[in-house]
Amino acid sequence: MAGDDLEPGAPTPVPPAAGRSRLADLAAYAGVSEATVSRVLNDRPGVAAGTRQAVITALDVLGYDRPSKLQRSSAGLVGLVVPELTNPVFPVFAQQIETPLAAAGYTPVLCTQTPGGVHEDEYVRMLLDRGVSAIVFVSGQHADTRAGIERYTRLRERGLPIVLVNGWREGIDASFISHDDVTAMHLAVRHLRELGHERIGFATGPERYVPVQRRIEGFTAAMADLPGDPADLVATTIFTLEGGGAAARMLVERGATAIVCGSDVMALGAIRAARQLGLSVPEDLSVVGSDDATFMGFVDPPLTTIRMDVDGMAEAAVAAVLEEVGGGTGEHREYLFEPELILRRSTGVRQAAGATV
């Protein structure tokens, strides 16, 4: 009822107390009467929308099962294929895509690939067997230039809506959502050059991936007017702590006083390797990460990084897939999302002596 709406000055919700009934717990948490809770649980009219939602939230927070009348019926399954969850940026992508899908009534089905585990193609077969309404691919085989695109064209031929995140490939009739990798490298290199660095290295993963190719392109362009060949300062390894460490050692040997890394995980590996070489970050070696994954502001030193707009990209991916599932015919093209330079303490002014070994 209107009189039970949560208004300014309403009692502050309190946690459940031992020995109280479920109605009392929910009423206390939602700040409404037990009678109102009863009406919501029995799906009866006469309760304002805000109050109804407050009671449903209380059910979830306090761990009570929703009555069957309040359980949302699924509008269908939507597959979400991600490469792995060890890189912290991918769990964030998964959460930011799953949440709005669930809010729209769809049931997200998370498929995580691991080395030697279930391959993307196997996941797709399983998803098709379960009658999914659409599939969102994050950094999947579409990002690998050695992988064929037939797996995606076949899905489009059968009319299945798909959205591909990070990794544009010509010949696939779908929406692509991408981080602007070229601009990201310009931001990182410009920042380091403003600090006086000229021997700037780039540590990244395998060159067969579209985002890596674009970042090398951006790095090369940003370094073009400096002495030497920028290619000599590119080290391609793997997107892991160990890969970042190996790349950092190679680049320091080549005289780099600063390193841009293809992921935050690689950047942490580069910092660890620098310390093993007896170098301080940022006094002897400046390090820039990529993605701005969770907790990068709390490592030692806090990591300067290029933030990927995961929230915006996830929102766009969901909007694109839901529009097509709903019968829309949105324009199939690549949508680029701007990066942002996040300044922390892993980068500093180049010291006169530089970083040498």
- pLDDT tens column, 181-210: 999 999 999 999 999 999 999 999 999 999
* Mean pLDDT score across all residues of the chain: 90
Per-residue confidence (pLDDT) for residue 71, from 0 to 100? 62
Q: At residue 87, does pLDDT exceed 70?
A: yes
Contacts of 204 (CB under 8 A, 6+ apart): 212, 215, 216, 234, 235, 236, 237, 239, 247, 261, 262, 266
CA–CA dist 173, 153 (Å, integer):
7
Which position has the higher pLDDT, 74 or 118?
Answer: 118
Question: Across residues 164-174, what is the average pLDDT?
Answer: 96
Q: At residue 354, does pLDDT exceed 50?
A: no
Between helices 49-62 and 34-41, what is the axis angle to 10°?
Answer: 90
Question: Across residues 157-171, what is the average pLDDT?
Answer: 96
Contacts of 338 (CB under 8 A, 6+ apart): 180, 183, 309
Per-residue confidence (pLDDT) for residue 353, from 0 to 100? 55
**72 — pLDDT class (breaks 50, 70, 90):** low
CA–CA dist 254, 24 (Å, integer):
69
In what order do the strands lie in the sheet containing 134-138? 106-112, 76-82, 134-138, 162-165, 175-179, 334-337
Domain ranges, ordered by start, for the chain? 2-70, 76-179+310-338, 181-307
By the 8 A CB rule, do 339 and 308 touch? Answer: yes
Q: Which two tokens stand for residue 78?
A: 């939507």
Backbone phi, then psi, for 35, in 5-degree steps? -65, -40
Q: How many residues can be counted in the chain?
A: 357
Q: Which two tokens stand for residue 267?
A: 């950047």
CA–CA dist 16, 212 (Å, integer):
51
Per-residue confidence (pLDDT) for residue 357, from 0 to 100? 38
Q: At residue 16, does pLDDT exceed 70?
A: no
Q: How far from 140 is each of 86, 149, 333, CA to CA, in Å?
A: 15, 11, 17
Domains 76-179+310-338 and 181-307 share a fold: yes
Per-residue confidence (pLDDT) for residue 328, from 0 to 100? 81
DSSP string, 197-218: --SEEEEES-TTBHHHHHHHHH
**11 — pLDDT class (breaks 50, 70, 90):** very low
CA–CA dist 126, 253 (Å, integer):
48
Query: Of all residues in the chain, what percent carry a pLDDT higher than 70?
Result: 91
DSSP 3-state of 17? coil
Q: At residue 114, does pLDDT exceed 50?
A: yes
The single-letter code of the amino acid at 258 is: A
By the 8 A CB rule, do 83 and 90 touch? Answer: yes
Q: pTM for the full model? A: 0.80
Q: Which residues pair with 203 in a beta bridge?
A: 235, 261
Question: Across residues 316-323, what is the average pLDDT?
Answer: 95
**73 — pLDDT class (breaks 50, 70, 90):** low
What are 120-134's pLDDT values in tens digits? 999 999 999 999 999
Question: Across residues 70-78, what is the average pLDDT?
Answer: 72
What are 274-288's pLDDT values in tens digits? 999 999 999 999 999
CATH class of 181-307: alpha beta
Per-residue confidence (pLDDT) for residue 20, from 0 to 100? 60
Picking from 95, 124, 92, the residue whose alpha carbon sits closest to that of residue 108 is 95
Picking from 266, 216, 275, the residue whose alpha carbon sits closest to that of residue 245 is 266
Handedness of CA 189, 264, 319, 51 (dihedral sign): negative
DSSP 3-state of 290? strand
Per-residue confidence (pLDDT) for residue 173, from 0 to 100? 94
Burial class (CB in 10 A: 0-12, 13-18, 19+), 145: middle
Cis peptide upstream of residue 282 (ω within 30 degrees of 0): yes
Contacts of 182 (CB under 8 A, 6+ apart): 214, 215, 217, 218, 221
CA–CA dist 225, 8 (Å, integer):
61
The maximal CA–CA distance of the chain, rounded, in angstroms, is 77
* CATH code given to domain 76-179+310-338: 3.40.50.2300
Per-residue confidence (pLDDT) for residue 356, from 0 to 100? 42
Q: At residue 326, does pLDDT exceed 50?
A: yes
Q: At residue 10, does pLDDT exceed 80?
A: no
Q: Which residues pair with 334 in a beta bridge?
A: 176
Q: At residue 111, does pLDDT exceed 80?
A: yes
Q: At residue 342, does pLDDT exceed 50?
A: yes
User: Rounded to an integer, what is the distance from CA 204 to the centroid of its chain?
Assistant: 18
CATH fold for domain 2-70: 434 Repressor (Amino-terminal Domain) (1.10.260)
Question: Across residues 294-304, what is the average pLDDT?
Answer: 95
Q: At residue 292, does pLDDT exceed 90?
A: yes
Q: At residue 223, does pLDDT exceed 90?
A: yes
Q: What angle do CA 273, 279, 281 make, to 5 degrees?
A: 85
Lowest mean pLDDT segment, chosen from 76-90, 186-200, 245-259 = 76-90
**8 — pLDDT class (breaks 50, 70, 90):** very low
Lowest mean pLDDT segment, chosen from 55-64, 67-76, 182-191 = 67-76
